[in-house]
Amino acid sequence: MAEKVCRYCNKPLKLRESGYPMGSALLKADRVHVDIYECPDCHKIELFAAESDLVTCPKCGNLHSAKEACAICAMNKAFDEANN
């Protein structure tokens, strides 16, 4: 993977947050996970699509961050509990 550098200062960017969930909590299935990088010099923030820790849910095939439970399965479970 190419090193991420600040487009203004050409300094290597520092990883601030990896796999950060973007988007509305109400649209969990559509959330995008991003890696947040910051330039130590000018503090420009750059976002990159997270590529490191996505796992495929064995139950429903949804792609989600390894740090989080599967949102689809969590939603299905909530529906099941509401209907019983």
Angstrom CA distances, 69 to 55, 62, 81, stand at: 10, 11, 17
Collapsed DSSP state (helix, strand, coil) of residue 39: coil
Rg, the chain, Cα only: 17
Of 5, 21, 53, 73, the one binding Zn ion (CB under 5 A) is 73
Look up residue 46 and give its two tokens.
């750059």
8 forms part of the interface with Zn ion (CB under 5 A): yes
Count of residues interacting with Zn ion (CB under 5 A): 14
3-state secondary structure of 65: strand
Using CB under 5 A, which residues numbered 34 to 53 contact Zn ion?
39, 41-42, 44
Candidate list 28, 68, 72, 75; residue touching Zn ion; CB under 5 A: 72
Of positions 6, 34, 36, 50, contacts Zn ion by CB under 5 A: 6
Minimal distance in Å, beta carbon 62 to Zn ion?
5
Determine the straight-line distance between the first and last CA of the chain, rounded to whole angstroms: 49
* Contacting residues toward Zn ion, per CB under 5 A: 6, 8-9, 39, 41-42, 44, 57, 59-60, 62, 70, 72-73
